[in-house]
Chain A
């Protein structure tokens, strides 16, 4: 090699290498620069979600039913967490180790904290504080949790709030993040978008270890959270808790509506459940026991409990017959205590019979034989039509997420179920007394009672009266639909009078609902059911002359409507006027 050659070799070598570097730098810094700039940004800017405060829930008189209290939420950073601490942490938080493992494995990123336990006990927080160095990746933050006036009070109306599930996340993609709270039932669910408020975000700069080093852009890009709107309910919490006490050891439901506007004053479903058990962390044991309990405490019987209406349904047939002129008040039936159709015997509820009864009497004494005969004289589809006028066979449209339609049969329905010409008129006879293939919810029954009280005006039953938007400081009335049932005044007068006689007549089945000083009208019902004792029904309204409340009551497997449900109606009416008088007194005192 010559002197020049070796120098040339080295020069060519370094020239090539440096040229290669230059090309590579060109690629990184110019050609792919944007991509790296984005990565550098996401490296250093962290978005911190600020959960909004959920709106409060007030009763109709401004009493707080649900508010928020601070609670501790324990978080875990999967990347930092040491598995050897799993059992200690699980025990500390009173959760299954498996639960934590599931949370970790479904974490969106190993570097961001995931919430592993809401509403952690204070001693767990104290322990975490003391053992910060050993429990790497475990931290806690302060969040808000729902606070209830009394455990279980109005649980089905309010509903519970809980961490969003994986399937809900898939539905509300983009609106919620794992770990977010969401209303899971009741009003918390149906008014979720109004009550939840808007999340806020803070943008911060972090160093390589994720430590806070400063606000991004001096916090100018931060978005503060906005509080959720408050709900003012139609519920009178005093009446509600009184009603729940009446039902304390009973199974069933009761709904009280103001017939003048459809506002639900109280709505009870028993058994109920303790809302505090379901908000925050719910152990599998509690969850399973609530779900497997044969009395189904999570079921809102008022909207989703399906029952035969029993004799309370007789007014529908009476109205149909009167409106279609099938019979008039003079038309009478002799009741020997039984009714024979084909080779079948249908019994009245007294074996000695009611003798000669007309429509008014038949309702007062709840004569089955009269209505069996009446059913055969009435067009079946007319009956279905009038039933649907009163809201049966479909949802009332109450502002709760859980509601069932019930069944109101018609020719079409029977044709579908049994096939055309595969059913006979005999199928209809038990429908006359609200038995057989018919099912209703207590809320539908309350709406029915309201329409009877109003002589035809049907307001959509509802629970939320007003929404208080705190952001703009405005209270907004919620409007609901109202409809007029096309039934004549005379017909209503006859039927309402008969209902008055049920409570006030000498032979009335609902005498137990009588209240001194107030005229109560109503109808008892005793729904036979194959699974044990009869369900006791009572629907009605008061005062008879100018109704202020309408109600439906059912007590499962308790006995007859007259002996079990009617006394509850009496207590409700009494309490309602007692509360009303109290309020007037307070108002007068204020004057």
Chain B
């Protein structure tokens, strides 16, 4: 009875993968920083986790209605910080995304992800909002675009894309007509495709054109949309050279051919693949990965943390981590389906979108399948702001589960 009582209040399908991933993160960061002069990172990571637990507990007990009411304020604050960071931000590797308050540093953009999820869920859960009204889409779009635009100004292209992912996930869950979503997504997909190769660009163009035709919209509209998309795709060359910063250009070109610049932007990817590949089936053993221990991957404890378990625990280790993420994501979908209250359900899907995007892009990055755009891996990467926000998200998910009956 006791166990059932706990199981009723605590969602083990969220908690267990979460705890497993936290442990994997602790081990990985320990391994990646165990050197004099770097070990403080591990200590700080532990401190972030411990303080993060407080955040988690806070959000676990926070009444959902209160959160709903708080969300406009949180959103406003996060926008304020994003504006502030542009003027007084601390520069770290090319972008000013940090705000320093005393000894304390934090990343407003992480906070803004959370706030954007809340404000979108808040807005869409209002009584008179209809999912087939273009006004809904426009307002939600503006709410997303403000933090997205401010993040680009930092400039932090990678994080900015996360807002797009959040928007897309929530809109999909809100059952906005697929045609509209496609309308929004198509240009982005085309731009990304144009960075790869002409062949891929043509292939993706045909796919998108076909989907638009299948939508059976009026002929003139379809033609106009297709033409516009093509124009955007073709203009991306211009965007690439004029708008993207040189370090982004380099990352994209080195992603397409890592060996073109083996010690520059492509270096991390080459070394990361060597680390992962050399892990083999069972890995080189904890603290015995040469790529990790000899620091072939700079600042491995942030975006390239996945190589550590992959190298030291091999295919077994990396498969277990994938499995934990998979269970977690799967669970959130079920949770979001289970909860009938619109706000909570949309928040859950916002969390899903954030994590799914981070996990997919980060692992794709370390495997050399995607350009390096500075996206952390939830629970494994080092980073205080992200850890707190993730802890808050876990707290909310557990909260929703515990209160699932009231939220139905």
Mark A residues whose CB is within 8 Å of B: 1, 3-4, 6-7, 9-11, 14-15, 17-18, 21-22, 24-26, 28-30, 32-33, 35-37, 39-41, 43-44, 79, 205-209, 213
Contact = CB atoms under 8 A, between A and B. Distances in A.
B290 A44 contact: yes
Contact of B295 (A15, A26, A79, A207): A207
A79 B264 CA distance: 12
Interface in B280-318: 280-281, 290-291, 294-298, 310, 314-315, 318
A6 B175 contact: yes
Contacts of B322: 18, 21-22, 25
B294 A213 contact: yes
28 contacts: A3-B337, A7-B333, A7-B334, A10-B172, A14-B330, A21-B363, A21-B364, A22-B322, A25-B315, A25-B319, A28-B273, A29-B279, A29-B280, A30-B281, A32-B277, A33-B280, A33-B281, A36-B273, A36-B274, A37-B280, A39-B274, A41-B290, A43-B274, A43-B291, A44-B290, A44-B294, A206-B294, A208-B296
Contact of A28 (B271, B276, B333): B276
A33 B278 CA distance: 5
Contacts of A29: 276-277, 279-281, 310, 314-315, 318
A30 B295 CA distance: 23
Contacts of A25: 276, 310, 315, 318-319, 322, 367
Interface in B33-53: none
Nearest to A208: B296
A39 B169 CA distance: 40
Contacts, number: 110
Contact of B278 (A21, A22, A26, A39): A39
A40 B326 contact: no
A274 to B, nearest CB: 44
Contacts of B360: 14, 17
Contacts of B281: 29-30, 33
A210 to B, nearest CB: 10
Nearest to B289: A40
Nearest to B281: A30
A33 B337 CA distance: 41
A553 B294 CA distance: 68
Contacts of A22: 319, 322
Interface in B132-188: 169, 172-173, 175, 178
A462 B263 CA distance: 56
A30 B315 contact: yes
A11 B356 CA distance: 11
B265 to A, nearest CB: 16
A402 to B, nearest CB: 47
A35 B319 contact: no
A21 B280 contact: no
Contacts of A44: 290-291, 294, 296
Contact of A1 (B169, B178, B279): B178
Interface string B255-283: 00000000100000001011111111100
B136 to A, nearest CB: 15
Contact of A43 (B175, B178, B276, B290): B290
Contacts of B81: none
The 4 residue pairs across chains A and B that have the minimum distance between CB atoms: A36-B277, A40-B278, A29-B315, A28-B277
Given A21-B322, A36-B276, A43-B274, 18 more contacts: A3-B337, A7-B334, A7-B337, A11-B333, A14-B356, A14-B360, A15-B326, A18-B322, A21-B363, A25-B367, A26-B315, A28-B276, A28-B277, A29-B280, A40-B274, A40-B290, A43-B294, A213-B294
B111 interface: no
A40 B291 contact: yes
A6 B263 contact: no
B36 to A, nearest CB: 13
A563 B84 CA distance: 104
A208 B298 contact: yes
A564 to B, nearest CB: 69
Given A3-B337, A24-B367, A79 B290 contact: no
B275 A14 contact: no
